[in-house]
Structure 1
Amino acid sequence: MASIRSSLTIASLLILTSGIIPLGFQFPLAAKELDTNTKIARYRARGYAGIDEFLKTNGAEMARLRTQTNSPRWKQLSQTLDRICQQRDCEASRLYWHTDLAQAKQVAAATNKPILSLRMLGNLDEELSCANSRFFRITLYSNPEIAKLLRDKYVLHWQSVRPVPKITIDFGDGRKVQQTITGNSIHYILDKTGHPIDGLPGLYAPQAFKRQLTQGAEFVAKYHQLPEKDRQTALDTYHQTQLANLQANWQRDLDKLGISIPLPKSITSLNTPPTAAEAGGIAVSKSAIESPIIQLSRAFSQRTDILKKATEDPLWVKLGELHQEDATLAANSRALIRRKQPQLASLAAKDKENYSDPLPELVTKFQKLMAIDSIRNEYLLHSQLHQWLMGNRFPVDIETLNTRVYDRLFLTPKSDRWLGLMPGDGYTGIDRDGIVEN
C-alpha cells in the first residue's frame, strides 16, 4: 500500500488499519492531482467503492486513451489506478487487492467470504513480476467472467515471496531488452480465518481456473456452516474427492489418446470418489484418522506414479489439445495483449498495404501453450497439493504450506539464494563468473 502522509485524519488512519469501512462513511474526494499518496490512500480505504469512484470520474477518458498507452495522460491515469488496486493493468480487471493478510482476514470475516491469496516472485503492481503472475493479469484477471467471480465471491490478497530475477540484454547502441527469468506463482484458497483449503499452482487456462474458483467458493461456504469439530473431516473428503476425480480425468484423457494403463486392483476403486459416510468413519480417534488417510494417500501416490510414467513428454502436447477450449482468451484479454504491443500499430500505420497483423497467430500459439501448462499443473502439481492437505498430516498454516510448495513443488527453496541460476561446471571466462553481491 502506498505510504500514508501525516495529512490523513485519524479517522482515515483507523479505517486504513482495520480495513473495514463504517456504514455510510464517505471520504471527500477533492479534485486535485491524482498522483498524491493521500488521495490514493483515500481511494484504497474505500475498497471497490474507491475503484468505482475513480472510474466514474476518469473511466471514459481512459477508454479513449487505450490506444495511446505511451501518452503522459494515459500513464498518469493507469498508474494511479494500479496503485489504488495494487495490481498492474487494473483498468482491464478492476480488482481490489489487499497486501496485508491481517486486513484481508478482517474483511473476509465481515463479508463471510474466502480469501484468494496469491504468492509470487516480485510484486503484482509492477510490470516485471514473475512470468506466471503477468499471465494471470493478462489472461485471467482481465477475463470479465473471472473478474466478476473474484469480486463477488473472494477477498483478494497478494504477497511477494522474494524479488523476481531480471535479466537485461544491452545491445550497446542504446537498445536494451529487460525480462524476468525463472519463478513460479500459486493461488491459495483460504477460509475467512486464513486456514488453507486448496491451492492452484502455476498458470491455469481461464475456464479451468474459473471452475476451480467456483467449486472452491462453494466448498468454503458449506465448510463455514459446519461445527468446527467436523471441518477437518469435510476437508479430507473434499481433497479425496478432488484427487480421485483428477486422476480419473487423467486416465480418461490417456484412454482417448489410446494409452492403455493397467492399474493394480488395489487402487482401481479410486475411480469412485469416497462418500461422505466413508470419510466420516475416519474421524473416530487419532489413530483412526491417521492410518486410513496415510494408506489412502499411498494408494493415490501409487496411481499418480503410474499415470506420470505413462504420460511421456510428447503426450502433454496432445493432452493440451484435448483441453484447448479451456484456454480460449476473452476479448478483453486479447485487447490487453494488443495494448501491450504498441509497436504493432506503428508498423501497420507505416505500411498499411503490406502489413499482416501477427497478433491472431501469437494468441493462438499462446493458447496452445497455456492449455499444456494448465493440464500439467493440474495433473502433476495439484495432485501433490491435494495429498499434502489431506488428513492435515503436517502443520498447515499458510506460511508453512507456502514454504513447502516453493521448496518441494516449485523446486525453488529459499535456501537457494540464486534460484538455480548460479553458473555450474561450465567455464564462462568472466571474473567470478559474473557474480556480483552487494
Structure 2
Amino acid sequence: MSTIETPPSLVRGTTQDQRAFDFFCSVTSPILSCHFDEDFWNYFLLQMSRSESTVWHSVIALGTLHEQGTIDDDDLRLLHHRNGLSHYNKAITQLTKFTEPESQSAESVLVSCIIFVCVEIVLGNIKGARNHLQAGVEIISSLDTPGSLPTFYQSNGQLLKSNVVPIFDHFNNQSFIYGRILTPATKRVHELFDDVPDTFLNYGEARNYHTSLLSAAHHFAVKSLNAPDQDSEEYVDLLEEKLNLQRRIQGWSDAAEELLKSNRLSNYDRGRISHIKLSHKCASMWVFSALNTDEMSFDAYVYDYDALVKLSRVNLNKCSVYIETPHLAGSKQDSHLLESVSPLFVVATKCRNPTIRRQALTLLRRYPPSQGFWDSKLVVRVVERIVQLEEGALENLRDPTGVIVPSEWARIQAVTVSLDRTDDTTMTVVFQRKSTVVEEQWARG
C-alpha cells in the first residue's frame, strides 16, 4: 500500500534494534498480514510505530523474539531473547505510566494489546496471550459503556471498525478450544456489520463481515446451550437474536456470490473467499441448530458435513507443503489453512457419522502443529477423546444415511481446555454432556 519508512526513533536505536525492525518488516509483518489484515500490518502499524513509543517497543520486541526462533547459535538466541523481553517490558511500562487515560488514544492501546498477544504466542504463553486478548476486548466494549473503564480518546474510528476490531474477533474465533468465549467485542461496532450490503466491495470487506458474523454465531451457540424456559422473555430475546443472525448469514452468502460474479477479485482473492465459505457454513450450522433441545439436530447436516470434508481436503491439498517456522509463521501459500480448521473441528465433533468424522480427524492431523492460538496436537487429542466418550454408547440410533451413531445422552455438547486451574505441567479438560460433566487432568505437551 505504501513504502515502509523507518521510524525516527530507529536512528537512535541500536544495530540490534535496526535488525529487529527489518526482520519485522520483511518476515513477521508479511506473515501476519496473510492471516489478518494487510493494510494494518503493512501500513497502519508501521506508521503508528513512528509516533507511539509503546507501539515502537512492541514491534521491536515481536521482531526480535520472532527472529530468535530462526537462530541456531545458543548465545545469540539468548541475546535476542533478553533484548526482546527488554523491549516488551518497555512497551508495557510506556502503556501504564500515564496517569490520565484520556491522554492515550484507544487505537494505540488496542494496537499494543494486539502485538502483546503475538509476543506471548511467540513465547509459548497462551494463557498470557488470552489475558491480553481479554483486556483488549474489555477496552473495546468500554467504548460503548462510559465509566466502566478509563476513557480513551478515539482519533480514528474507521481504523477501529475496519482493522482493529476484526483482528480481536479473529483471535477470539481462533482460540475457541480454550473455552472462555469472549463477548463479541462491542455492540456498536458489530451493529455496523448488521446490515449486510447487496455485494461486497472487495475481499477485505467480505472478510470483516464474516469475521464479525462468525464471532457472533459462535458466542450465540454457546450462550444458547442452557436456554431459558420457552415462555420467558429471555427466550423470546434469544429467538429474535437467532432470526437476526440467520438473516445476516443468508445476506453474507448472497453478497459473497455477487462479489464472486464480479471482476473485482483476483484469482488469489477468489480462493480466499472459498476458504471463508467453509467457516461460514459452520456459522450457519451453529445458529440454525441453536435453541434445539438435543444434539441430534446436528445429524440433519450429515451430507453438508461430507461436502465440508471434501472441500477442506481440496484446500489442504493445494497447500500440501507446509514450511515450519517459529510459532507465528507459515508460508504465504499456507496462510489460509486455518480457515478450514474450525469447520473440520465442527465436523469431527458434531458429525456422529463414524466415517465422515474420522475423515475430518485425519485432515486435522495434517495441519500445521502451531499457528497463533491454534495447537493441532491439542485439538486432535480433544477430538479423539470426544469420539471415545461418545462411541462408547452406540445403541440403536441411526443418522439419515442409516449408520448407527451415538445416543443423545452420550454426546458432548461442549468442551473446554482450561489453563487457569492447573500448574505448568497439567491442564483441565472438561467435556459437557446434556446431564453430566466429564472432567479430566491432562499432561501438557
Query: Could you state the TM-score of these two structures normalised by the residue count of structure 1?
Result: 0.29
Which structure would you say has the larger RCO, counting Cα contacts within 8 Å and 6 or more residues apart? 1
Which one has the largest radius of gyration? 1
Query: Could you state the TM-score of these two structures normalised by the residue count of structure 2?
Result: 0.29
Q: Which has the higher helix share?
A: 2
